[in-house]
């Protein structure tokens, strides 16, 4: 990962609901900056392996039952990246009262999705517009956003919401270079379709900037500066590593999961002016080109 200047913020204790790809990248940055870091995974085996590898306090939380007491001792910042269920956001379903009673808690970040905007037919989606979800996934996310904000209205705790575009980054098959090398990359073509993306480490930078500039109710589109057709990054990646890109597949012929098909059913461009104007963030990877060049060069 390239060196990035971190926003000025006193080290605290960050608790991650869901230590997945994005959360773990940020957890490492915080730990290197002197923070205490803890969080959750879904099973005991992964918890033990992650604790041993990363030196992080890891607890098991699969959303079906609350954790034992003491999970939030000294916690100052909470990041929730767990997808909501039809019943709601799992952390709030089981720990809303615990979190509200946590005397050290100052800030909560909820990682949401642009699915709350629904289909804008290629138009712009901005944070001050009312959500108009067109899918069950988008409706659940919009409900979880409202629940997190409402949970701390009238308190000293800041809650900020992050609507995160398609995530890519180094390793774990999380980018088209890995997909091409594994023979799994596909170009699905749908006329007029565009998406924004975001490098995983730029997400971390946005979250850190938000911690340093808390504003309760703040909502942010977390995305790069170039919405583009889904095949463009794959073709660029193929050029970088000197291979032929896969032949495009029409959307009507493509075998897609229900989740992927719902993704292609919506088309929007995310306005990101608020990242720059309010949070002062300059993305390290403003388009997929910079991000994929860094991945091809082996930058971690």
Averaged over 116-121, what is the pLDDT? 96
Dihedral (CA of 67, 24, 175, 114) sign: positive
Q: Is the pLDDT of residue 90 over 60?
A: yes
Averaged over 36-43, what is the pLDDT? 97
Q: In which band, very low, low, confident or very high, does the pLDDT at 7 lie, cut at 50, 70 and 90?
A: low
For residue 145, give both structure tokens: 């956003």
Q: In which band, very low, low, confident or very high, does the pLDDT at 4 lie, cut at 50, 70 and 90?
A: very low
Q: In which band, very low, low, confident or very high, does the pLDDT at 5 lie, cut at 50, 70 and 90?
A: low
pTM for the full predicted model: 0.95
* Percent over 70 (pLDDT), the chain: 97
Q: Walk me through the domains of the chain, giving residue ranges and CATH numbers.
A: 13-168+197-225+269-285 (3.40.50.720)
If you average pLDDT over every residue of the chain, what do you get?
95
The secondary structure of 120-176 as a DSSP string is -TT-EE-TTSPP---SHHHHHHHHHHHHHHHHTTTSS-EEEEEEE-EEE-SSTT-SH
Averaged over 151-176, what is the pLDDT? 96
Rounded-to-integer distance, Cα 123 and Cα 270, Å: 9
Burial 208-226 (b: 16+ CB within 10 A, else e): bbbbebbebebbbbbbbeb
pLDDT at residue 146, as a whole number: 98
């Amino acid at each position: 990962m390239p060196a990035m200047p971190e926003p000025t913020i006193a080290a605290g204790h960050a608790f991650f609901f869901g230590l997945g790809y994005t959360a773990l990248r940020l957890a490492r940055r915080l730990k290197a900056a002197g923070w205490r870091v803890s969080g959750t995974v879904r099973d005991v085996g992964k918890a033990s392996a992650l604790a041993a590898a990363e030196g992080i306090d890891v607890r098991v939380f699969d959303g079906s039952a609350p954790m034992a007491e003491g999970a939030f001792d000294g916690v100052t910042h909470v990041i929730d990246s767990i997808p909501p269920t039809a019943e709601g956001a799992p952390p709030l379903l089981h720990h809303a009262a615990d979190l509200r009673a946590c005397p050290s808690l100052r800030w909560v970040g909820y990682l949401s999705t642009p699915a709350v905007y629904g289909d804008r037919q290629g138009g712009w989606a901005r944070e001050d517009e009312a959500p108009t979800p067109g899918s069950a996934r988008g409706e659940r996310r919009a409900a979880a956003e409202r629940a997190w904000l409402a949970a701390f209205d009238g308190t000293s705790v800041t809650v900020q919401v992050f609507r995160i575009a398609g995530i890519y980054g180094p390793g774990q098959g999380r980018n088209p270079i890995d997909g091409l090398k594994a023979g799994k990359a596909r170009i699905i073509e749908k006329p007029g379709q565009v998406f924004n993306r975001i490098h995983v480490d730029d997400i971390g930078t946005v979250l850190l900037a938000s911690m340093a500039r808390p504003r309760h109710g703040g909502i942010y589109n977390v995305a790069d500066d170039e919405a583009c057709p889904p095949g463009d990054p794959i073709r660029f990646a193929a050029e970088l590593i000197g291979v032929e890109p896969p032949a495009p597949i029409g959307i009507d012929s493509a075998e897609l999961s229900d989740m992927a098909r719902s993704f292609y059913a919506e088309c929007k461009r995310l306005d990101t002016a608020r990242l720059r104007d309010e949070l002062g963030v300059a993305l390290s990877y403003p388009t997929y080109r910079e991000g994929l060049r860094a991945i091809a060069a082996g930058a971690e």
